[in-house]
Chains A and B, each alone.
Chain A
Amino acid sequence: MTLDDILGSLFPDGHEIRKDKGVLLGWATPRCGEKMLVVGVADLTALGVDEAIRLSGHLLASIGRDSGPILVLVDSDSQRMSKRDELLGLNEFLAHLAKVLIHADMSGRPTIGLLYGHSAAGALLATGLATRVLIGLPGAYPAVMDLPSMAKVTKLSMEALEEKAKSTPVFAPGLSNLVQMGAVHMTWSNDVSLADQLKVLLADLPAARDQRDALGKARGGRLKAADIAERVRDLALQAL
């Protein structure tokens, strides 16, 4: 699905979302429910300092003033890999964007990520992975690390890596692996209108509590994370 198809299906009554240099900013009103603030990265655009500051600025102009959920659309490259971005402190700009999204979610503006194309590494951390609920659309192809780069570092052949990827979701790219890890909460269907699926989601949003480790455990993708975190938490609380 193209971005226009997705927006048309999500908001059949129209929307005010503008795309400028790969960044999506605007508003839309779902069929049932409150007006939503919408931000995003489109067209496989790399997320650099210039993109990140516009996204966080749009969000901050609304937080504390408006109400309603926030939708984050994602079809990006990874973070922009350049001397200029690092020189200017890209880590702060990406962290800032994630912080704004997390703060919004904690203060009554539930955040929903919609991963409809690619994303990777720092760009995914600052967008989709900083939302309360991350939805995957069929055809999305996130990759924390691509297999050719991994083959280079691990000195294993692509065939060997592909073979290993069959038995574990822990390192290989792809939407289904991120679902199993608990990073992506659910995958929507292309056969039902996205507006209807959004309506169902908005009617029954999960609580603003990070449950991705429990989800990863239940789905068999991350068997240790939830237990280790819980054990450390208990030990730390006993220290009082």
Chain B
Amino acid sequence: MSAPLKDITPAERARSTSFHEASARTRLELLLDAGSFVEFIGPEQREVSPHLKIFDLPEQFDDGIVVGRGRLDGSPVFVAAQEGRFMGGAFGEVHGAKLTGLLRAARQIALIPVLILFDTGGVRLQEANAGELAIAEIMRAVMEARSAGVKVIGLIGGRSGCYGGGGLIAGCCSALAVSEPGRIAVSGPEVIETNRGVEEFDSRDRALVWRTMGGKHRRLLGAADVFADDNVQDFREAALELLGLIGSFGLDSLKAEQERLADRLSRYGACLDAIDIWTAQGIACAETVPELPADQFIALADEIGRTSRDAR
């Protein structure tokens, strides 16, 4: 017997909603405390990209990103969610400026954390220069906010993954939660194949894409801190967990990150495939990792530990 819709608690709804499939607005609605979200420059303001019309492309009234404030377990947070279904969640001038403004406010207040729900292919081609520069400004704003004591958390599990400059912004965050479909990389599979040939990277080999760029590999590598199951409630809990774990940022964090990344290169720099890396990490039957259900994978990842804490 199914319960009437009104009897379903928000947590149950969030638990049964795929983060991957949901829109940016649904993700925010279910991630935050019920009814707490307030948008800044919402679609009613119609602040569209001034550049897409050059290419006769449709605009979207929010330019593919929703920014605002809300509450998480009662505490205030700033949030930004990219909409991967509009232009692949790519960064354009307006899209990027909304996130920059949010981060600048967070820096000034220095108390309220920022959650970024990435869902992006990177720079928006049709406004490539504006998009690239927007990403540079966001990276600077993230680091200025973190230096002022702000926690900046990235949640990655959207359709478009977190590619290009999005991957660099993710690398600037205090901590990341990622789900299996969340992919983090700079060059996408098709870009590598186009530039270097199918021998270098076969973009149609989906298993190869997942195990090279997908959430499980990123968690095992220490590129992401927490692995979330693909539902909004799990991302909410991951965000809360990370908010409690993040320490302060400073020169020591960068020195620790240098050591962490140099160590990764010396340990795994000669590995040809993710399975070789997982095997070198001491995982028995590494080839079965892609098939592991979330709970078993999380147990395995917890054994490997968190290499990235205080080192990013």
Q: Which residues of A contact B (CB under 8 A)?
A: 49-50, 53, 56-57, 60, 63-64, 79, 81-96, 98-100, 102-103, 106-107, 121-122, 124-126, 129-130, 144-145, 149-150, 153-154, 156, 164, 167-172, 177-178, 181-183, 210, 212-213, 216, 221-237, 239-240
Is A86 a contact partner of B108 (Cβ separation < 8 A)?
no
Choice from B41, B133, B223, B262 contacting A181 with Cβ under 8 Å: B133
With CB as the reference atom, state the residue of chain A lying closest to B172.
A95
Chain B interface extent, by class: 35 or more
Is B255 a contact partner of A130 (Cβ separation < 8 A)?
no
Distance in angstroms from A49 CB to nearest chain B CB is 6
Is A90 a contact partner of B185 (Cβ separation < 8 A)?
yes
Is A49 a contact partner of B102 (Cβ separation < 8 A)?
no
Q: A107-B251, A228-B47 are in contact. Are A183 and B129 (CB under 8 A)?
A: yes
Report B110-131 CB contacts with A as 1/0, cut-off 8 Å. 0000000000000101111111
Majority SS of interface residues in chain A? helix
Is A145 a contact partner of B136 (Cβ separation < 8 A)?
no
Choice from A93, A100, A130, A232 contacting B254 with Cβ under 8 Å: A100
A-B pairs with beta carbons under 8 A, tally: 276
Q: A98-B139, A129-B136 are in contact. Are A92 and B223 (CB under 8 A)?
A: yes
CA distance A96 to B139 in the complex (A): 11
With CB as the reference atom, state the residue of chain A lying closest to B50.
A224
CA distance A189 to B258 in the complex (A): 37
With A103-B254, A170-B54, A178-B133 known, 7 other A-B pairs at CB within 8 A are A53-B262, A83-B200, A89-B261, A92-B223, A130-B136, A229-B98, A233-B105
Choice from A64, A95, A145, A182 contacting B123 with Cβ under 8 Å: A145
With CB as the reference atom, state the residue of chain A lying closest to B251.
A64
Inter-chain contacts of A150 with B (CB < 8 A): 125, 128
Report B222-265 CB contacts with A as 1/0, cut-off 8 Å. 01000000000000000000000000000100110110011011
